[in-house]
């Protein structure tokens, strides 16, 4: 009897009234859930009374006592309850697919139809269907949660034992200690004023990740693939930047570049340089890579260049940025990968004597800080001071860390080679 009661409670958690086709069955289901909430028990008499309490006129109109008795008499046992629930969910999902799919087809006939947005809507529909299908698996009791917590802990402990980090390696020992690498399902902001080396820094991070057999995608909205590829080749080969840019590299340097290129080619690093990225395109690209070959980490350079036009034309810039960062956080959770997002800072730091940026300097919206799991701010004192002692120094200021402590530390930044060392 106890098992039957547990099965009933579990069943209620996976269904909702909207999943029933007939209005009267929706009404009965509402009565059952209300009955379980009120009495912690359920039979045809209690349900009938609860339905009269919820809506006496409708209950009387449906002759609800007879209807509930008739429905309950048709079930011999709850032994196959999970199968009955599955049938209800599948029929509901098919109806939703017909309804929403038809709406998409009708929209496709419109002259103003946007292919990228429609592809995004289709993927959202699939995501909705998958969410409904596996809703029970995502609702866990404490035993199941604690089991997963310990499994995750033991996995991390084993990685530490093998001198690895639990997440995607950053290539910076102090950062790996603080963060445990880039964790799955997290949105990580790297922010700085222009000229601080944001792009160079994510190229360094991406290379460190792929050299540890992680598959990385960079969405570059500012620089094209030839520019980024050139930075990688020049920096990793060690040829002087000025000679590389002007084409004055000697024969030995060219050989070094060719050798470096042969080492870079096998790395699982991908770059997309479409300058007109919308969130629909970002999502489509990331999902496509995840489903076709895999994706372990996503870099976006940078937030303020994403096409943020919303369906709601009344949105201001701050609301658009808030909607975009929220979608990126959802995308990180959906793909179960870390998303590294570059962001600009406003000019407020230039009014301060120290020139040190603060979390409040994030440009356009406070939602950037709110949605982010970590926020790293880059700062090069030499950019402002022109003091030789500050040359080559880069401050990494971890100003937000949702799952740990904050800290700051210095790196050596070789600007001509796009390299960072501790």
**What is the pTM assigned to this prediction?**
0.70
Domain assignment present for 67: yes
Residues 261, 377, single domain; the answer is yes
| End position of a domain, from candidates 79, 99, 124 | 79
Q: What is the DSSP string of 105-145?
A: HHHHTSTT--HHHHHHHHHHHHHHHHHHHTHHHHS--HHHH
pLDDT for 403: 84
Q: What is the pLDDT of residue 6?
A: 46
Q: Which residue has the higher pLDDT, 77 or 125?
A: 125
Q: What is the pLDDT of residue 1?
A: 39
Task: Say if 156 falls within a structural domain.
Answer: no
Whats the size of the chain, residue-wise? 422
What does the pLDDT read at residue 12?
A: 59
Least confident residue range of 38-42, 161-165, 185-189, 199-203 = 38-42
Q: Which of 1, 19, 303, 6 is nearest to 135 (CA)?
A: 19
The verdict on 259 and 384 lying in the same domain is yes
Q: Assess whether 64 and 206 both reside in one domain.
A: no
Query: How many structural domains does the chain have?
Result: 2
Judged by average pLDDT, the poorest of 205-209, 249-253, 310-314 is 310-314
State the residue range of the domain holding 11: 2-79
Structure tokens at 51: 């339905």
Distance (Å, rounded) from C-alpha 190 to C-alpha 340? 7
Task: Give residue 299's pLDDT.
Answer: 95
Give me the percent of the chain exceeding a pLDDT of 70.
87
Residue 256 and residue 366 share a domain:
yes
Is 221 in the same domain as 74? Answer: no
The answer to whether residue 388 sits within a structural domain is yes
pLDDT at 2: 39
Give mean pLDDT, residues 69-81. Answer: 68
One domain for residues 387 and 286: yes
- Residue 108 in domain: no
Residues 75 and 178 in one domain: no
| Residue range 54-83: mean pLDDT, rounded | 73
Determine the angle formed by the axes of helices 2-14 and 81-108, rounding to 10 degrees. Answer: 0
Q: What is the pLDDT of residues 136-164, one digit of tens each?
A: 555 667 787 788 788 877 887 887 777 77
Q: Sheet holding 187-192: strands in order across?
A: 269-272, 216-220, 297-301, 339-344, 187-192, 374-379, 393-401, 407-414, 419-421
Final residue before a domain boundary, out of 55, 79, 103: 79
Q: Say how far apart CA 205 and CA 193 lie, in whole Å.
A: 19
Same domain for 180 and 73, yes or no, is: no
CATH number at residue 215: 3.40.50.300
What pLDDT shows up at residue 339? 94
Whether 365 is covered by a domain: the verdict is: yes
Residue 280 lies in a domain: yes
**Domain identity same for 415 and 283:** yes
Is residue 174 domain-resident?
A: yes
**The domain boundary residue, chosen from 79, 112, 138:** 79
Per-residue pLDDT at 9: 52
17 pLDDT tier (thresholds 50, 70, 90): confident
- For residue 376, pLDDT over 80 is answered with yes
């Amino acid at each position: 009897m106890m098992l039957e009661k547990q099965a009933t409670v579990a069943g209620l958690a996976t269904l909702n009234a909207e999943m029933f086709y007939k209005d009267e069955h929706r009404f009965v289901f509402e009565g059952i859930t209300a009955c379980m909430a009120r009495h912690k028990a359920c039979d045809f008499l209690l349900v009938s009374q609860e339905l009269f309490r919820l809506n006496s006129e409708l209950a009387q109109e449906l002759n609800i006592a007879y209807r509930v008795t008739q429905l309950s008499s048709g079930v011999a046992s709850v032994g196959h309850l999970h199968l009955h629930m599955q049938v209800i969910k599948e029929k509901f999902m098919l109806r939703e697919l017909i309804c929403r799919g038809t709406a998409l087809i009708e929209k496709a006939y419109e002259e103003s139809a946007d292919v990228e947005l429609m592809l995004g809507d289709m993927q959202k529909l699939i995501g909705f269907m998958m969410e409904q299908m596996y809703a029970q698996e995502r609702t866990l009791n404490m035993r199941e949660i604690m089991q997963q917590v310990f499994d995750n802990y033991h996995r991390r402990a084993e990685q530490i034992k093998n001198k690895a980090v639990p997440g995607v390696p950053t290539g910076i020992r102090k950062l790996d200690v603080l963060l445990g690498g880039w964790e799955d399902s997290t949105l990580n902001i790297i922010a700085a004023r222009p000229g601080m080396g944001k792009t160079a820094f994510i190229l360094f991070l991406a290379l460190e990740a792929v050299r540890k057999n992680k598959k990385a995608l960079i969405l570059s909205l500012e620089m094209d693939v030839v520019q980024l590829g050139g930075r990688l080749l020049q920096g990793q080969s060690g040829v002087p930047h000025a000679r590389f840019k002007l084409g004055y590299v000697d024969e030995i340097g060219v050989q070094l570049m060719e050798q470096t290129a042969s080492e870079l080619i096998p790395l699982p690093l991908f770059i997309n340089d479409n300058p007109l990225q919308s969130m629909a395109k970002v999502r489509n690209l990331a999902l496509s890579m995840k489903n076709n070959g895999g994706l372990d980490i996503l870099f976006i350079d940078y937030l303020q260049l994403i096409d943020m036009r919303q369906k709601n034309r009344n949105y201001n810039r701050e609301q658009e940025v808030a909607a975009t960062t929220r979608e990126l956080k959802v995308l990180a959770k959906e793909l179960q990968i870390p998303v590294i997002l570059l962001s600009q800072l406003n000019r407020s730091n230039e009014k301060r004597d120290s020139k040190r940026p603060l979390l409040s300097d994030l440009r356009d919206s406070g939602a950037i800080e709110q949605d982010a799991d970590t926020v790293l701010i880059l700062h090069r004192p030499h950019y402002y001071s022109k003091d030789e002692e500050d040359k080559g120094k880069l401050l990494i200021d971890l100003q937000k860390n949702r799952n740990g402590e904050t800290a700051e530390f210095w790196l050596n930044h070789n600007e001509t080679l796009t390299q960072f060392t501790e």
